[in-house]
């Protein structure tokens, strides 16, 4: 039996975990980050430009994402703290902590940029709303969703986000059933390879959109908010109760993450396959507007409308989760809590400036995902280290093979980013 110092006790308000089905939800909310407009732009561009070449990147990214999101959720379940909170207490040097916060905040802003722009583009496609006004509308709706989270708690917020996820899934997958991809091309795309510098750039963009740093920060916070904080003072009976509770929560979390990643991976793959099968070589498909027009011409207005509706739901849902993550990053690392709605207003500014000065929205989306890709190691490496430490998770610390898998994922992601930087600098 583990000692009380190795196991974190249950909060007094919860002695028996609820039914397993009721435990699902946090991963589905975090999983929306894997279906944001940056994913759409990166996967659409990859499919239209290189056909099935980068199918393997989407699949590999989703496999790595399962492990990463589970580790993040486990940290929140066992410690009752988010990853930013744990790091905020471990990084003692004030300037080191502020520097870490700055890079995390820049990543969160890049995320927000992609999501607001995606929502604006969708409103333009559906209702011919000017991009700047569309960005403002997207921001306002996201504030309404954040108000639900602030005032009603995590469960109603989860229901809203999961509903938007269902719309996203239908919107992006519908076209694949209308015009199925070539099976031989899909199988060939599972072979890891690159073609040129552009394909490496898009691979980094896909990974940045798939394994999103802010989702790593957010998932631990979502599980903390849902299942509550814990205490370290307990007798043997409380320890036994807590051990049973955590075991059940982690089992449900594995199912939660699996469902979320299956949905996110399938949708991301469907977007790439839709573009590879129907947009490869078509003029003007290097932008979301051009892809929408090509889908309308090739597959009909219904499929194109589904695509635009999915893009809108993607922008609205993901920007809300991104703002939630950004607020948690600031609170955990700087011990400063700014109201979610106030922070939402501030983080809207960069996206609105981009839209207002006329920067190509699709280019901004793809480049924002590259920024996210470079932020991955700063979230992933501490996560792997912390979840491998017995002093942090006690008996729930990672097994050796889990830590090894996390290290391999980290090395692969860092190596890809290094290769990207080298190719861009040298112009190879």
| CATH code, domain with 26 | 1.20.1740.10
Q: Which of 167, 207, 210 is nearest to 307 (CA)?
A: 167
Instruction: For residues 69 and 17, give the distance between their C-alpha atoms in angstroms, rounded to a whole number.
Output: 21
Whether 345 is covered by a domain: the verdict is yes
Instruction: For residues 228 and 241, give the distance between their C-alpha atoms in angstroms, rounded to a whole number.
Output: 15
Q: List the structure tokens of 185.
A: 């091309």
Q: List the structure tokens of 50.
A: 């290189």
The number of folded domains in the chain is 1
Alpha carbons within 13 angstroms on the beta-carbon side of residue 242 total 32
Whether 162 is covered by a domain: the verdict is yes
Structural domain containing residue 339? 22-227+235-276+285-426
**Of how many residues is the chain composed?**
428
Whether 89 is covered by a domain: the verdict is yes
What would you report as the CA-atom Rg of the chain, rounded to the nearest whole angstrom? 21
Q: Which of 300, 292, 257 is nearest to 271 (CA)?
A: 292
pLDDT in tens, the chain (428 residues): 344 333 333 333 444 445 566 677 788 888 888 888 878 888 988 999 999 999 999 999 999 999 999 999 999 999 999 999 999 999 989 999 999 999 988 888 887 887 888 899 999 999 999 999 999 999 888 888 888 877 877 788 888 888 999 999 999 999 999 989 999 999 999 999 988 888 888 888 788 667 888 889 999 999 988 886 554 444 556 666 788 889 999 999 999 999 999 999 999 999 999 999 998 878 777 778 888 988 898 889 999 999 999 999 988 888 888 888 888 898 899 888 777 677 777 778 888 888 888 888 877 776 776 777 778 889 999 999 999 999 999 999 999 999 999 999 888 888 877 776 676 667 65
Whether 87 is covered by a domain: the verdict is yes
Whether 2 is covered by a domain: the verdict is no
What is the crossing angle of helices 37-50 and 94-127, to 10°?
70
């Amino acid at each position: 039996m583990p000692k009380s110092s190795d196991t974190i006790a249950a909060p007094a308000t919860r002695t028996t975990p609820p039914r397993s089905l009721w435990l699902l939800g946090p991963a589905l909310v975090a999983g929306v980050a894997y279906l944001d407009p940056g994913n759409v732009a990166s996967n659409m561009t990859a499919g239209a430009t290189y056909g099935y070449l980068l199918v393997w990147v989407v699949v590999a990214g989703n496999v790595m994402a399962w492990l990463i999101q589970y580790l993040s959720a486990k940290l929140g379940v066992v410690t009752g703290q988010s990853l930013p909170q744990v790091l905020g207490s471990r990084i003692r040097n004030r300037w080191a902590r502020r520097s870490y916060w700055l890079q995390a905040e820049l990543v969160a802003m890049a995320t927000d940029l992609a999501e607001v722009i995606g929502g604006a583009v969708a409103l333009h496609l559906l209702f011919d709303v000017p991009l700047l006004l569309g960005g403002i509308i997207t921001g306002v709706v996201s504030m309404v969703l954040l108000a639900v989270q602030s005032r009603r708690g995590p469960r109603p917020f989860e229901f809203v986000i999961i509903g938007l996820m269902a719309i996203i899934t239908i919107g992006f997958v519908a076209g694949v059933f209308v015009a199925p991809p070539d099976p031989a091309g899909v199988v060939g795309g599972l072979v890891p390879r690159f073609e040129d510098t552009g394909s490496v750039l898009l691979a980094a963009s896909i990974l940045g959109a798939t394994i999103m740093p802010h989702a790593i920060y957010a998932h631990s916070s979502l599980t903390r908010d849902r299942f509550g904080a814990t205490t370290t003072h307990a007798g043997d009976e409380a320890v036994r109760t807590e051990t049973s509770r955590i075991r059940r929560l982690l089992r449900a979390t594995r199912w939660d993450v699996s469902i979320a990643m299956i949905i996110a991976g399938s949708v991301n793959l469907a977007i790439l396959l839709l573009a590879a099968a129907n947009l490869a070589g078509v003029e003007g498909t290097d932008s979301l507007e051009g892809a929408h027009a090509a889908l309308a011409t090739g597959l009909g207005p219904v499929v194109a409308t589904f695509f635009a509706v999915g893009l809108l739901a993607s922008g609205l849902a993901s920007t809300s989760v991104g703002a939630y993550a950004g607020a948690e990053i600031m609170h955990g690392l700087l011990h400063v809590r700014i109201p979610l709605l106030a922070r939402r207003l501030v983080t809207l500014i960069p996206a609105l400036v981009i839209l207002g000065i006329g920067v190509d929205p699709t280019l901004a989306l793809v480049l924002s995902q590259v920024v996210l890709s470079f932020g991955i190691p700063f979230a992933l490496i501490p996560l792997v280290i912390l979840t491998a430490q017995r002093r942090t998770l006690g008996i729930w610390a990672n097994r050796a093979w889990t830590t090894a898998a996390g290290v391999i994922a980290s090395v692969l992601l860092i190596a890809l980013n290094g290769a990207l930087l080298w190719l861009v600098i040298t112009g190879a």
